């Protein structure tokens, strides 16, 4: 079914006008767009849970739909009818067998929550541990067999949206849904988050019970007194953005399709994510995105464009892109009010600028790697929630500032950790192997310096304004040469170089005193 959609919807120019069937004037009529978006959401909900999931997915595709549609589709309820107790008991027997009766002391067969994907039950193990058991709705079992079921009515979707949707939307939706409907992948993601939380004080991930989990069933520890609200909305919005950015740029995985009910805040204000899609980025992508965001915060559009395009490619291999025009438009990326229905009217908001960069790249014929699309979906989802929590601040920008600050302190802590030095002993040894020759060259160079001025009597010397000596310059020169001799490794040299420069600065300050 997905393949038929792709072939029937060939590649289209990125700048083509997208209008829904029978609604040619939508692009210039916000009221008409809002009305059609509402009708589209209601119709998708009537078509069943798969189409309701599609509506929620489209809510995060600000690159594909006008913001009026994204805002409306976010209103689709993430809920479904609960499974009867008899069917719950049957699923538990199929997945856990006799182990269920041996392990569980109590189990509530009536769920406390039922989303479009799964429903959740409270239980207690014989060890006394309070747990939550998440059961996948049988409707989605076909996805786990790598079979794309006939769950989408493509004819209805085409009639509903006309030319509004890009050709690849349903393909990406199917991939995202497959990740979310595999509870084994969810368990792996939670375990990765738990490993990240060991070194990140604001993140928490509940313990998972691998022996009581399958692809259709997931058992996790029950969070004690979790809340969906922060004690202070502004601080909460900033922390949410900080945690999300930390996970996306440095973490092993991050949430993509966040909604308010996927965020849990513990009593100590640590944040946990449950019931959403998780994705991990390649290390090269994380580095490029980190540098892109850093350049964005430093108001350096040329550098930002360079790192962003490393994660994108021309739409067609034979298509020639005017790079100079792209860079000019990238520098001039301005606010056009596209995100007002979701993120308000702050034209300087970080999410607004990121969106304009994204649209500029798309309009010039670039397409993102699939994992980059996940990053943007997650970014806009968290920005939307942060705006709901705190409409009066740019929480994403402030969260980015906190992330950058904590990142710097994190690197300093790592440098002070003896394990870092131990693990990089071979690199230090390689650099130190060239030190004798380098030092000898530096001393020879220093001995050749003119000494006429120093041999003159004090009364005839030129005024001296500092206490620097040739030895000072030798030290600084040795430090500089040592830096140049270090192995080229962005992850390592980027951390040791600041330390070496800091030592050089200490020498200079001591000599001034």
Question: Residue 405's pLDDT is what?
Answer: 87
- For 348-376, the pLDDT digits (tens) are 788 888 988 988 898 888 988 888 999 99
- For 430-446, the pLDDT digits (tens) are 555 555 666 566 556 55
CA 182 to chain centre: 20
Residue 267: other Cβ atoms inside 10 A: 11
Question: Residue 466's pLDDT is what?
Answer: 47
What is residue 261's DSSP assignment?
A: G
Q: What is the pTM of this model?
A: 0.75
Q: Give the whole-angstrom CA distance, residue 286 versus residue 310.
A: 11
Q: Give the whole-angstrom CA distance, residue 58 versus residue 39.
A: 15
Q: Is-contact 210 217, C-beta < 8 A?
A: no
Q: Is-contact 386 344, C-beta < 8 A?
A: no
Q: Is the dihedral of CA 146, 150, 155, 156 positive or negative?
A: negative
Question: Which DSSP string do the residues of 178-220 spell out, in sequence order?
Answer: HHHT-HHHHHHHHHHHHHHHTT-TTB----B-GGG--SSEEEE
- For 84-138, the pLDDT digits (tens) are 999 999 999 999 999 999 999 999 999 999 999 999 999 999 999 999 999 999 9
Residues of the chain with pLDDT under 50: 1-27, 451, 453-468, 487-493, 495, 512
Using DSSP bridges, classify how beta strands 118-125 and 113-114 pair: parallel, antiparallel or unpaired.
antiparallel
Alpha-helical segments (H) within 332-469: 340-343, 350-363, 370-389, 395-416, 418-423, 425-433, 435-447, 452-455
Q: Give the whole-angstrom CA distance, residue 252 versus residue 490.
A: 19
Q: Give the whole-angstrom CA distance, residue 134 versus residue 212.
A: 11
What is residue 223's DSSP assignment?
A: P
For 312, counting Cβ atoms within 10 Å of its Cβ (0-12 exposed, 13-18 middle, 19+ buried), the class is middle
Place of tokens 């001039």: 332
Rg (CA), the chain: 29
Question: Residue 166's pLDDT is what?
Answer: 78
């Amino acid at each position: 079914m997905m393949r038929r959609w792709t072939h029937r919807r060939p590649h289209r120019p990125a700048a083509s006008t997208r209008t829904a069937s029978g609604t040619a004037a939508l692009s210039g009529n916000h009221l008409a767009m809002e009305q059609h978006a509402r009708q589209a959401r209601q119709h998708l909900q009537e078509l069943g849970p798969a189409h309701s999931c599609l509506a929620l997915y489209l809510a995060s595709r600000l690159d594909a739909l006008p913001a009026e549609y994204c805002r409306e589709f976010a209103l689709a309820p993430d809920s479904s009818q609960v499974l009867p107790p008899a069917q719950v008991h049957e699923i538990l027997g199929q997945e856990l067998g006799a182990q269920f009766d041996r392990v569980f002391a109590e189990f509530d067969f009536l769920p406390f929550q039922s989303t479009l994907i799964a429903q959740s039950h409270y239980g207690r193990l014989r060890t006394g541990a309070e747990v939550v058991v998440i059961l996948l709705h049988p409707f989605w079992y076909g996805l786990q067999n790598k079979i794309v079921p006939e769950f989408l009515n493509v004819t209805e979707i085409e009639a509903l949206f006309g030319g509004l949707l890009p050709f690849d939307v349903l393909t990406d939706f199917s991939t995202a849904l497959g990740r979310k409907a595999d509870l084994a992948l969810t368990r792996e993601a939670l375990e990765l988050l738990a490993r990240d939380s060991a070194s990140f004080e604001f993140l928490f991930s509940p313990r998972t019970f691998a022996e009581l989990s399958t692809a259709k069933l997931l058992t996790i520890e029950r969070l004690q007194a979790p809340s969906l609200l922060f004690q202070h909305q502004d601080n909460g919005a900033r922390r949410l953005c900080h945690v999300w950015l930390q996970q996306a740029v440095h973490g092993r995985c991050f949430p993509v399709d966040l909604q308010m009910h996927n965020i849990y805040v513990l009593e100590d204000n640590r944040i946990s994510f449950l019931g959403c899609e998780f994705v991990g980025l390649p290390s090269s992508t994380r580095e490029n995105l980190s540098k892109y965001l850093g350049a964005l915060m430093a108001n350096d559009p040329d550098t930002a464009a360079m790192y962003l395009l490393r994660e994108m490619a021309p739409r067609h291999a034979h298509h020639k892109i005017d790079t100079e025009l792209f860079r000019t438009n990238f520098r001039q990326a301005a606010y056009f009010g596209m995100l007002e229905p979701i993120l308000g009217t702050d034209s300087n908001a970080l999410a607004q600028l990121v969106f304009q960069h994204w649209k500029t790249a798309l309009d010039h014929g670039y397409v993102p790697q699939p994992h980059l699309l996940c990053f943007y979906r997650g970014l806009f989802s968290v920005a939307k929630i942060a705006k709901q929590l705190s409409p009066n601040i740019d929480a994403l920008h402030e969260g980015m500032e906190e992330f950058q600050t904590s990142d710097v302190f994190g690197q300093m802590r790592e440098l002070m950790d003896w394990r870092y030095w131990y693990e990089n002993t071979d690199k230090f040894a390689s650099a130190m192997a060239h030190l004798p020759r380098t030092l000898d060259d530096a001393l020879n160079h220093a001995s050749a310096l003119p000494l006429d001025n120093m041999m003159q009597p004090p009364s005839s010397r030129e005024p001296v304004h500092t206490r620097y000596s040739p030895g000072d310059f030798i030290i600084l020169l040795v430090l500089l040469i040592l830096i140049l001799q270090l192995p080229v490794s962005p992850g390592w040299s980027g951390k040791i170089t600041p330390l070496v420069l800091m030592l050089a600065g200490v020498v200079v300050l001591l000599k001034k005193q």
